[in-house]
Structure 1
Amino acid sequence: MDFSLLYFANREVRDASSEYEVLARTATFADDHGFTALWLPERHFHPFGGAYPNPAVAAAALASGTRRIRLRAGSVVTPLHDCLEIVEDWAMVDNLSHGRVDLALATGWVADDFVLAPDRYADRRQIMFDSVDLIRRVWTGQPVERINGEGDKVEVLTYPRPFQSAPNMWITCTANPATFEEAGARGLNILTALLFQNVDEVAANIRRYRAAREAANHDPAGGTVSLMLHAFAGESDRAVREVVKVPFQNYLRSSFDLWRGQWDGLGDADEDQVVAFAFERYFRTAALFGSVEKCAKFARKLADVGVDEIACLVDFGVENEAMLKALPYLDQVRQKCLSIA
């Protein structure tokens, strides 16, 4: 099983510089210790993830300071962009990194983000899937016909030309079985999470993904299923709980307005009840929180249901130095899982 780091901090604008310092330090650690990739998000107009309005910019900043780790869009919200610009941005990072770029594409889910492209919100899922083939064509140097400023049809190529002949591509899926199936049918990888699904539901969606790959004549065992998990490992479950409880509850509270309406079964529960419920769920069954042994056991369980990679979200609000000191424990978890096929 592969392990990567993923970022989705909640930082006010005044704290952004410290977030980027932590990004660089964790990237160096991951690069030096055998982690597979760094996942960089796209978020707009909200403190939750708002330090990352453009993952290509963050990836470009990391390209020269790392040697081997993959730099991944996790994810580009494709309905908010022209695919030509996506390829231009990431081709530049691909060259800066000598071919270490991968792309995950997402629909976006927050209506306010679409002030950038309001006419695309309703059809965002189809637009995302339509963008896959266009990004591939532009990346490989095929011209695209567009209308220029004088109303004439012109064919354009993007520059710089990418370092890689083609990017590895993921589709971000929250829980919708249809999205898993379409990603499989198109031969794409999967980036998912446990926010709106449990492990059994992930397993069922992975089976759908594999079946769809096979039905479309793709290798059913091919393709990578990456699972995002909040991660903090330490000496003991109790010690980790003491460190993460308050920061993680604050992290959940900071995004309460974004995800509150998407959880079923909460009824009229108030914010404190929801956050307390969510923390207990995450700590027990939906995060890499706890001792090295507890985290490794959970990782093995995920491997058994078909997860190929764990993308560890490390910047969820724990004090920076504590988070950095915990990374060697996370590396121990990674090492214990090296033999998992």
Structure 2
Amino acid sequence: MDFSLLYFANRQTNNAPREYELLFESVGFADRHGFKAVWLPERHFHPFGGAYPNPALTAAALATRTSNVRLRAGSVVVPLHDPLSVVEDWSVVDNISDGRVDIALATGWNPDDFALAPERYAKRREFTFDALREVKSLWAGETVRRRNGNGQEIDVSAYPRAVQPELDLWFTCSSSRESFTEAGARGLNVLTALLFQSTDELTESIESYRAARERNGHDPATGIVTLMLHTFVGENDAAVKKLVREPFTDYLVSSVDLWKARWSDLVGIHPRRLAGLAFERYFRRAALLGSVERCTAFARELQATGVNEIACLIDFGAADSDVLAMLPLLDDVRRDLRGEGSPPVQHGG
């Protein structure tokens, strides 16, 4: 099983110059210690995730600071863009990083995000899969048809040409079995989470995904299922729960209005009570929180369900110094799952 880092901070800060220090320092650790990738989201018009309005910009900065980790969009909200712009932006990152780019595609769900493209919201799913074909074509150096400023139909290509001849693509699936099946049928990898599904439901969705790959001529064993988990590894479970409870609860409160846009039955429940209940669920069965032993056991259980990679969301509000101090313990979990044994350096290396 591979391990990556993922970022989705609630950014309400009084010290803007320090905004991205945790990102840079933790990605540096991941790059030196064998983590597979870093995932960067696209978020708009809200402090929850609001440090990342364009993941390609952040990935370009990281490309100059890293040598090994894959730089991944997690995710590009495709209906908010022309595929030409997506390929142009990420081709630049692919060049700067010498071919370390991967992209997860998302349809989007929050209607407020579609202030950038309101006409596409109702048919955002159809637009995403239409755009998928153009993204693949443009990445391979082919042309697409567009109308220029004079109203003429022209064929255009995207520049610069990418380093990688093909782009590894994920599809972001929140919980819909249909989405997993669609991703499998199209030969895409999957980026998912436990926010809207249980581990049992995830197992069934992965089975549907593998079956769809096989039915459509794709090797069912080669598709990658990446699972996002909020992550904090410590010396013991009780200490971790005490340390993360308040910042994690605050983090959840900051996003309650986004949940209510999706779940109307949440209206009327006090945000902090709702977040407190959610925290208990996360700690029990939906996050990588606790000791090395507890987190390793949960990761092994997820591996048995068919998960190939855990994307560890680490910037949910714990102090930067605490997050950086826990990374060697997370690396212990990673090494255990990969059978790599003890690291050759002391913690903090």
Question: SS in structure 2 opposite 1:74?
Answer: strand
> Following TM superposition, by how much is the alpha carbon of 1:108 offset from its aligned partner in structure 2, in angstroms?
1.0
Bigger mean CA offset, 55-64 vs 264-273: 264-273
Q: Distance in 2 between matches of 1:174 and 1:82?
A: 23
Question: SS in structure 2 opposite 1:219?
Answer: coil
Alignment correspondent of 1:68: 68
Alignment correspondent of 2:30: 30
Under a length normalisation based on structure 2, what TM-score does the superposition of the two structures give?
Answer: 0.95
Q: Distance in 2 between matches of 1:91 and 1:67?
A: 17
Q: Distance in 2 between matches of 1:17 and 1:72?
A: 24
Q: Distance in 2 between matches of 1:201 and 1:263?
A: 19
Under a length normalisation based on structure 1, what TM-score does the superposition of the two structures give?
Answer: 0.97
Alignment correspondent of 2:200: 200
Deviations 1:247-278 (A, max 9, x none): 00000000000013545976853222211110
Q: Which amino acid in the other structure matches residue 110 of structure 1?
A: N
Alignment correspondent of 2:21: 21
> Following TM superposition, by how much is the alpha carbon of 1:7 offset from its aligned partner in structure 2, in angstroms?
0.2
User: Residue 6 and residue 16 in structure 1: after superposition, are their counterparts in 2 closer, same or farther (change >3 A)?
Assistant: farther
Cα-Cα RMSD:
1.4
Alignment correspondent of 1:90: 90
Alignment correspondent of 1:108: 108
Query: For this pair of structures, how many residues does the alignment match?
Result: 340
Residue 13 of structure 2 contacts residue 19 of structure 2 at CA under 8 Å; is this kept in 1?
Answer: no
> Following TM superposition, by how much is the alpha carbon of 1:294 offset from its aligned partner in structure 2, in angstroms?
0.3
Q: Distance in 2 between matches of 1:264 and 1:303?
A: 34
Q: Distance in 1 between matches of 2:302 and 2:294?
A: 13
Runs of 4+ in structure 1 off by over 3 angstroms are 13-17, 260-269
Alignment correspondent of 1:242: 242
Ranges in structure 1 where 5+ consecutive residues have no aligned partner: none
1:139-158 aligned at under 5 Å gives the runs 139-158=139-158
Q: Distance in 2 between matches of 1:239 and 1:44?
A: 34
Deviations 1:170-225 (A, max 9, x none): 00000011110010000000000000001000001000100100110111111100
Deviations 1:109-158 (A, max 9, x none): 11111000000011111111221111000000111111000001111111
Q: Which amino acid in the other structure matches residue 8 of structure 1?
A: F
Q: Distance in 2 between matches of 1:54 and 1:267?
A: 31
Q: Distance in 2 between matches of 1:141 and 1:334?
A: 37
Q: Which amino acid in the other structure matches residue 281 of structure 2?
A: R
> Following TM superposition, by how much is the alpha carbon of 1:28 offset from its aligned partner in structure 2, in angstroms?
0.4
> Following TM superposition, by how much is the alpha carbon of 1:302 offset from its aligned partner in structure 2, in angstroms?
0.2
Question: SS in structure 2 opposite 1:318?
Answer: coil
Alignment correspondent of 2:317: 317
Q: Does 1:307 pair with 2:324?
A: no
Q: Which amino acid in the other structure matches residue 244 of structure 1?
A: V
Residue 196 of structure 1 contacts residue 263 of structure 1 at CA under 8 Å; is this kept in 2?
Answer: no
Residue 13 of structure 1 contacts residue 47 of structure 1 at CA under 8 Å; is this kept in 2?
Answer: no
Q: Does 1:181 pair with 2:181?
A: yes
Q: Distance in 2 between matches of 1:214 and 1:159?
A: 35
Residue 63 of structure 1 contacts residue 93 of structure 1 at CA under 8 Å; is this kept in 2?
Answer: yes
Question: SS in structure 2 opposite 1:62?
Answer: helix
> Following TM superposition, by how much is the alpha carbon of 1:17 offset from its aligned partner in structure 2, in angstroms?
3.3
Residue 139 of structure 2 contacts residue 166 of structure 2 at CA under 8 Å; is this kept in 1?
Answer: yes
Question: SS in structure 1 opposite 2:289?
Answer: strand
